[in-house]
Amino acid sequence: MGILAFILALAIAAVILSVLSWSGKINKAWGFAATGMLLLVTIGAFSLSMQLGLVPTIPLLVSIGFLAFKKKAN
């Protein structure tokens, strides 16, 4: 239960940091660092169990999506 709570907390933090870096409120390095940590946790979770690895996959894809695309200019 503790592992799942840690994964969910990291996933939420990674998405928030990637959204903030996408909007320009913080440096992009913070979004990349949080997404990288979430990627490592996702790989580790998949090595433990397939079901546990699926939990952080969606937030990881959302986080990568925000980091991959730039904000539209006004």
pLDDT per position as a tens digit, 13-53: 999 999 999 998 999 999 999 999 999 999 999 999 999 89
* Confidence bin at 70 (pLDDT 50/70/90): confident
Residues 26/20, Cβ–Cβ less than 8 Å: yes
* Location of structure tokens 């490592």: 40
Any idea where the domains of the chain sit in the sequence? 2-68
| C-alpha pair distances (Å), 55 with each of 4, 25, 28, 42 | 8, 28, 25, 8
Gap between the Cα atoms of 70 and 54, Å rounded: 27
73 pLDDT higher than 70? no
